[in-house]
Amino acid sequence: MKRRLTRAGLWRVLVETGQITAAILFLIISASMYSRMLGVAALPTLFSDWLTSMDLGMAGLMTIYVILMILLGTIIETASIILIVVPLFLASVEALGGNVVWFGIVTVIGAEIGLLTPPLGISCFTIKSTIKDPSITLAHIFMGAFPFAVVMLLVLILIIAFPWLSLALL
């Protein structure tokens, strides 16, 4: 059977594309306003000074950061987490000698682990919504995602301990 795109189908595709684009642009505009507000309030500088005054070192800072990323990943999607948390920690990471590319890789992996973690692992809910088999429950999906989250956490620990693993190709 050959499928054709009708005028009604084209219109529906255009409307859905517009809705998705508007949501993404709203997120970008909100993030821009948030980062400007942080800059005007000098919050990243104050937060960085506070974190570095605690003498945690890079390992302690990254432990706090990864725990925060995973916890936020259970309730918020990745883009929002990155836009909210990265401006607060970036100055501290740079002050302690961390590489920005390495920090970005740690950020993405940490947030993605959170997306596989209950109670609101958004990736698991997405998988459940695409599966039409009622015998597969959300608990099955979380249990199936658990080994992947553990492996990702181990990789994240390795990347934090040995930053050159993520920077070798630069």
Please report, for the chain, the start and end positions of each structural domain, with discontinuous segments joined by +: 7-41, 43-167
Kindly list the distances between the CA atom of residue 69 and the CA atoms of 34, 132, 148, 149, in Å, as whole numbers in the listed order.
18, 31, 17, 13
Q: Report residue 168 as tokens.
A: 């070798």
156 and 62 in contact (C-beta within 8 Å)?
no
Residue with more model confidence, 17 or 118: 17
* Residue 167 backbone zone (phi > 0: left; psi -120 to 50: alpha; other: beta): alpha
Torsion over CA of 18, 24, 26 and 28, rounded to 10 degrees? -140
136: number of Cβ within 10 Å:
13
Per residue in 27-78, pLDDT (tens digit) is 778 877 877 787 777 777 787 788 778 888 888 899 999 988 888 877 777 7
Phi and psi, residue 101, nearest 5°: -65, -45
Say what the pTM is: 0.73
